[in-house]
Amino acid sequence: MTIGYLFLFSSLIGFGLLGIFHKVADHPNCRPRMVTMLLLFWGAVLTAIYTRFFETKGLTFPPKVLAIGAAGGLLASLALFSFQASLRFGKISTSWLILNLCTFVPVVLSILIYREQVTMGKAIGLLLVLLAIFLLWWDKKTDLERAGKEATDKAEPEPGASPRQTDLDLELEGAGGGGTMTAVVAAPRVADSVVVAAAPRQQVKSKSKWLPLIMLAFLANGLAATSQKVLVEVDGRAYESYAWQFYIALYAAGFAFCALVSLTQQGRPNLREFVTGLVMAVASVAGNVSIVMALGKNVPSTVAYPVANGGSLFLVILAGLLLFKEHVNPVGLAGIAVGIAAILVLVMS
């Protein structure tokens, strides 16, 4: 039993390091599409090696396992790219949580498609997910409003400017700390129809790409996770034991799609992207293998999944706050607490 809990701790560290290195990959020399491509490539290679030597079925791929894995891989590649891109405009401490809240999607689809029972635990967990997303959106909104106010306070009218109201579009893409993108001010646009007295300060509008990107990642990752449910349910659970072959197909299909898009448009990966993708893949595969080993050593699933999910989330959030010096508003901290509770409730139910 003791070695089982060591494997469980290893899975927690693996998944936590994956989230932290997503933030490390948020670097001007790391292109999101290229990092996603390399993560999926190394994930396919490492999973294939593990499956070849440690799984009884080896590299045997029934056609339906390949098809379901490939569909999941396309969705996973979209989710990973959107998530990595969102970090340029947001915080790892809140973004990683929203990505993991995607458990909401397969639970809802299981209820609608497979007619699974709506238990009290599932209902509470789903409501907590919606509440957490709302609170984390509010946290981002607060960051943008504060940054917009600061930019407005600094803006001064040019001497001799026409007495028209000038509206600058300020894209506060890194508001609240954490993103690599800095505020970018577009050329002033002069209103054509409204003539007003000269204002002491210029009005600043704030907007962010973070919300649509992270919600796209949330939805795509949830649909990718649903493909695992499809694998288990198809043909009377005939392919339930082909989980690792499914993951190889998922990683490989995701890599092929990203390679087709990235290599034709962005050239070859640089050394930083190559190494970062490898480290992230090692963390991801190590987390998956470790939790399987923990379950194989009689660690109860009611302990393994909450510890692996909740513990790795806490580790990433802690790194965001302490290591990357991200500022999270009180409403954001409330959203983090509600989000972790939502994941734990859904996992245990």
Summarize pLDDT for 26-70 with one digit per residue, the tens.
988 889 989 999 999 999 999 999 999 998 889 999 999 999 999
Residue 285's nearest CA partner among 47, 22, 8 is: 47
Average the pLDDT over 213-218 and give the result.
94
H or E element in which residue 165 lies: strand 164-171
Q: Which helix (DSSP H) or strand (DSSP E) does residue 298 occupy?
A: none
Return the bridge partners of 205, or none: 169
* CB 102, CB 214: distance < 8 Å: no
What confidence tier does 269 reach under pLDDT thresholds 50, 70, 90?
Answer: confident
Q: What percent of the chain has pLDDT over 70?
A: 84
- Long-range contacts of 114-117, Cβ-Cβ distance < 8 Å, separation of 24 or more: 114/229, 114/233
Per-residue CA distances from 346 to 33, 116, 136, 287 (Å): 31, 14, 19, 20
Long-range contacts of 191-194 (CB under 8 A, 24+ apart): 191/164, 191/165, 191/166, 191/167, 194/164, 194/165
Q: Rounded to whole angstroms, how far apart are CA atoms 187 and 156?
A: 15
User: Which of 184, 136, 66, 160 is closest to 342 using CA atoms?
Assistant: 136
CB atoms near residue 168 (< 10 Å) = 16
State residue 164's pLDDT score: 47
Domain spans, the chain:
2-141+209-348, 148-207
Burial class (CB in 10 A: 0-12, 13-18, 19+), 114: exposed
Q: What is the pLDDT of residue 156?
A: 56
State the pLDDT confidence band at 118, using cuts at 50, 70 and 90.
Answer: confident
What is the C-alpha to C-alpha distance for residues 279 and 18, in angstroms, rounded to an integer?
Answer: 8
Q: Can you tell me the distance from the alpha carbon of 341 to that of 349, in angstroms, rounded to the nearest whole number?
A: 12
Partners of 189 in beta bridges: 167
Task: Report the pLDDT value the prediction gives residue 204, as an integer from 0 to 100.
Answer: 43
* Per-residue CA distances from 298 to 292, 305, 340 (Å): 10, 13, 25
Q: Looking at residue 284, what is its pLDDT?
A: 92
